[in-house]
Amino acid sequence: MAAKKLLFILCVLATLVTLETTYAHCGESSTHGELHFSHGLSLPGLDSCHGADTDLAGGMKIGVDDVVKAWYMDDVAVAEDEDQRLPHHRQPDEAVPLAKLLDLGIVALRLDAENHERDENLTTMRQERGYLHMDIIELTPEKMPNYEAMIKRFFEEHLHTDEEVRYCLDGTGFDVRDEDDQWVRVSLSKGGLIIVPAGIYHRFTLDNNNYIKAMRLFSGGPDWTAYNRPHDHLPARKNYLAALYSGRGSQQDRHSY
One-character DSSP codes across the chain: -HHHHHHHHHHHHHHHHHHHHHHHHTT---EETTEEGGGG---TTSSTTT---TTHHHHSSTTHHHHEEEEEBPGGGG-TTS-TTS--B-SS--B--HHHHHHTT-EEEE--GGGTTT-HHHHHHHHHHT--EEEEEEE-TTTSTTHHHHHHHHTS-EE-SS-EEEEEEEE---EEE-TTS-EEEEEE-TTEEEEEPTT--EE----TT--EEEEEEESSS-----EESP-TTSHHHHHHHHHHTTTS--STTS---
202 is in an annotated binding site: yes
Burial 135-149 (b: 16+ CB within 10 A, else e): eeeebeeeeeeeeee
116 is in an annotated binding site: no
Residue 42 near residue 20, CB atoms below 8 Å: yes
Residue 108 near residue 41, CB atoms below 8 Å: no
| Residues flagged as binding site | 158, 160, 164, 202
| Residues flagged as binding site for Ni(2+) | 158, 160, 164, 202
| Residues flagged as binding site for Fe(2+) | 158, 160, 164, 202
